[in-house]
Amino acid sequence: MNHSKNLGLELHTLVSRLERAGDRILRTEHGLSYRRFMVLVTIGELGESTQRALADSLAVTEPSMSRMVAALAETGLLTVVPDPAGGNRRQIALTDAGRAMVERAGTDLVQRLTELVESSGVPFDTYLAHTRRLNAALDSPGARPAPRHPPRP
């Protein structure tokens, strides 16, 4: 394999480094980890949700999500109430403080990442457009890339 053209490795490295940079920014400026911030953002996007839906959305286990939700509820950023439909499910929603945190920290994070992209010489709008196209391609039916060569018998 030609490692100088390993897009998979480059993408993995980029996403990992961006997540670490986001974590440093959020912890330093807002006292919140990137993972917990993403829980808040996801709840903001989904609206009132369940732990199972959140765990599925963020590709984490339900026990892990349960711990994160409990910690965020303790800080007053989430409300957690029994699901009116019954069972062992709980409904989770952002509090006003949670919405304010998503807005404040999200604005800061977007600004800082925009500056990073532009400082690299890549036009932000172009980068965002290409990133959205890649995400859309993954969402479309048959998103799995076709093999370059037919499989051998």
Per-residue pLDDT tens digits for 76-100: 999 998 877 777 778 899 999 999 9
**What confidence score (pLDDT) does residue 2 get?**
62
Cα separation of 153 and 146, whole Å? 17
CB atoms within 10 A of CB 41: 17
Cα separation of 107 and 101, whole Å? 10
**Residue recorded with tokens 């509820």:** 73
> To which H or E segment does residue 113 belong?
helix 96-119
**What confidence score (pLDDT) does residue 143 get?**
58
Confidence of residue 139 (pLDDT cuts 50, 70, 90): confident
Q: Calculate the average pLDDT of the chain.
A: 88
127 burial level (CB within 10 Å; 0-12, 13-18, 19+): middle
- Taking the complete model, does pTM exceed 0.75, yes or no? yes
Pick among 3.40.630.20, 1.10.1660.10, 1.10.10.10, 1.10.760.10: CATH of 18-121: 1.10.10.10
Q: What is the mean pLDDT of residues 113-125?
A: 92
- What are 80's strand-pairing partners? 92
φ/ψ (deg, to 5) at 88: -95, 15
Q: Where are the domains of the chain?
A: 18-121
